[in-house]
């Protein structure tokens, strides 16, 4: 039987993936990556609850699969947390999942596979690998190719996504069939998996502190002050402290720029950086379907090379945010992506 390393979190998706792989004749080796959580009361990162690890252990025991625990806490703080804080400090809004998948999660899964002399790696992501291409999942509402756009192209031939051809509803049905009853009332996981006891603003306040700055309109008129630009995001309307309706248009260092006209939030041209190609060349085809947010419906657009790599959308989109990810599709194939500059 072909050995395969499977990343398991203790959740329903990775657990069902594990069972499906065994059913298909693979010999799975399960591994849980341990990452820390930030404790707002202790003001530091601590070891996570063993609840998820124990769930993963129970599933593996039920399936008679070896389960390993790989503590990569220090690496998580040094890579993912550092990236998050660095981007917020620059006035950007980072995308932790997309960054983590490339530079942390899959990196360590392949590292563990190498230690076990195993070539293949699987996870419970909703995506498909076909003919060496990363493609959208059958369940479009759960498709996760947006957050996988920075994977190394060389990894694709070694990756397996067992949930690519089934829906979330079918996953829950399978979980019941396999006797994984602990998942009946499972909450959906959040993007900021390291925050269990506080909000992102509490976290930023603890690490970046409060740094007073100006709130100005698009004509540079002073409207008020704030306690740190990192507490705001493009398109934000609530929490600005004005009786009049304003929206955050952009952030300039520690200045927050607002407008009272919602149309000012829309743009169709922007630049991207740190492009990652999952096919031979992003520029071999000029027209794409493009997403600038995970939940956004893809829109038509093109990519051109000037001094920067520029994206021009057919129709303007709301609140395109520096630091977020722009992903390019050719029909259902994820061609690649880059960070919005």
326 assigned to active site: no
Nearest CA among 187, 130, 188 for reference residue 164: 130
Q: Which of helix, strand or coil describes residue 182? A: helix
Are the C-beta atoms of residues 270 and 243 closer than 8 Å to each other?
no
Catalytic residue from among 100, 234, 326, 334: 100
198 assigned to active site: no
Nearest CA among 78, 55, 74, 57 for reference residue 66: 57
Q: Which of helix, strand or coil describes residue 222? A: strand
If you ran DSSP here, which 8-state letter would residue 67 be given?
Answer: E
Task: Find the radius of gyration of the CA atoms of the chain.
Answer: 21
Q: Count Cβ atoms within 10 A of the Cβ of residue 5 and give its class: 0-12 exposed, 13-18 middle, 19 or more buried.
A: buried
CA pair distance 99, 222, nearest whole angstrom: 35
Catalytic residue from among 60, 97, 149, 193: 193
> Which residues are tagged catalytic?
100, 193
């Amino acid at each position: 039987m072909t050995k395969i390393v499977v990343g398991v979190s203790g959740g329903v998706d990775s657990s069902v993936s594990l069972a499906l792989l065994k059913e298909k004749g693979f010999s799975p080796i399960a591994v849980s990556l341990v990452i820390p959580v930030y404790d707002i009361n202790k003001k530091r990162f601590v070891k996570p609850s063993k609840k998820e690890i124990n769930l993963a252990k129970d599933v593996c025991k039920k399936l008679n699969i070896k389960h390993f625990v790989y503590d990569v806490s220090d690496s998580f703080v040094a890579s993912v947390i550092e990236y998050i804080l660095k981007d917020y400090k620059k006035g950007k809004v980072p995308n932790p999942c997309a960054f983590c998948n490339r530079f942390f999660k899959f990196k360590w899964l392949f590292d563990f596979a190498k230690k076990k002399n195993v070539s293949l790696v699987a996870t419970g992501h909703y995506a498909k690998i076909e003919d060496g291409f990363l493609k959208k999942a059958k369940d479009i509402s759960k498709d996760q190719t947006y957050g996988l756009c920075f994977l190394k192209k060389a990894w694709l031939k070694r990756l397996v996504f067992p949930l690519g051809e089934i829906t979330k509803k079918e996953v829950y049905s399978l979980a019941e069939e396999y006797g994984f009853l602990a998942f009946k009332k499972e909450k959906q996981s959040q993007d900021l998996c390291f925050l269990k006891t506080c909000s992102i603003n509490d976290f930023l306040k603890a690490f970046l502190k409060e740094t007073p700055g100006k709130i100005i309109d698009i004509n540079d008129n002073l409207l008020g002050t704030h306690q740190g630009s990192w507490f705001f995001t493009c398109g934000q309307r609530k929490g600005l402290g004005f009786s009049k309706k304003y929206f955050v248009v952009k952030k300039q260092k520690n200045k927050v720029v607002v407008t009272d006209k919602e149309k000012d939030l829309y743009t169709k041209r922007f630049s991207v950086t740190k492009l990652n190609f999952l096919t031979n060349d992003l520029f071999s085809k000029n027209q794409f379907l493009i997403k600038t947010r995970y939940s956004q419906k893809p829109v038509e657009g093109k990519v051109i090379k000037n001094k920067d790599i520029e994206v021009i959308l057919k129709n303007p989109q709301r609140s395109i945010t520096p630091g977020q990810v722009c992903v390019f599709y050719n029909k259902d194939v994820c061609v690649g992506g880059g960070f919005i500059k």
